[in-house]
Amino acid sequence: MAKQDIRTLEDVKLLVNTFYGRVQQDTLIGPIFNTILDGRWEAHLEKMYGFWQTLLLDQHSYFGSPFPPHATLPVEADHFDAWLNLWTNTVREFFEGEKAEEAILRGEKMATMFLSKITYYRNTNARPLS
């Protein structure tokens, strides 16, 4: 059966739920996410639905700053590589098309930016704006 592009909130939910289900099981990044989000996974997923709906579907439902909650995470490049691998594989498993490719590209850019900013804040006395 041919895959379709990401077009609806239900598509976003399928992507986000599957992806974060895999994150929770991942031996490298799972423990970090599971510790930080213990008891708050549902709220996090809701926030991620809005985030990706805003980015991919041009339906503004996310309000906030995505970086500050990640600023002090104990992560390195290999963590972002694992995150991005799970993200890309999940997108490609279910979807193909312009929005699917945009989701992958945005994931790549986000991983690069977050790692750069986390490294910066870790190596300076600066603090991110909340």
Residue 70 sits at φ, ψ, to 5 deg, of -100, -10
Using the predicted structure, report yes or no on whether residue 130 has a pLDDT greater than 60.
no
In a domain, residue 77? The reply is yes
pLDDT at 60: 86
Q: What is the CATH number of the domain that holds 82?
A: 1.10.490.10
Supply the DSSP symbol for 72. Answer: T
- Is the predicted pLDDT of residue 120 greater than 70, yes or no? yes
Count up the domains in the chain and report the number: 1
Residue carrying the six token digits 């997108």:
91
Specify which residues 95 forms β-bridges with.
4
Determine the Cα–Cα distance for residues 38 and 18; give it in Å rounded to an integer: 18
The predicted model gives 58-73 an average pLDDT of 81
> Per the domain annotation, does 128 fall within a domain?
no
Q: Kindly state the tokens that stand for 102.
A: 């945009």
Q: Is residue 129 part of a domain?
A: no
Residues 75-93, mean pLDDT to the nearest whole number: 96
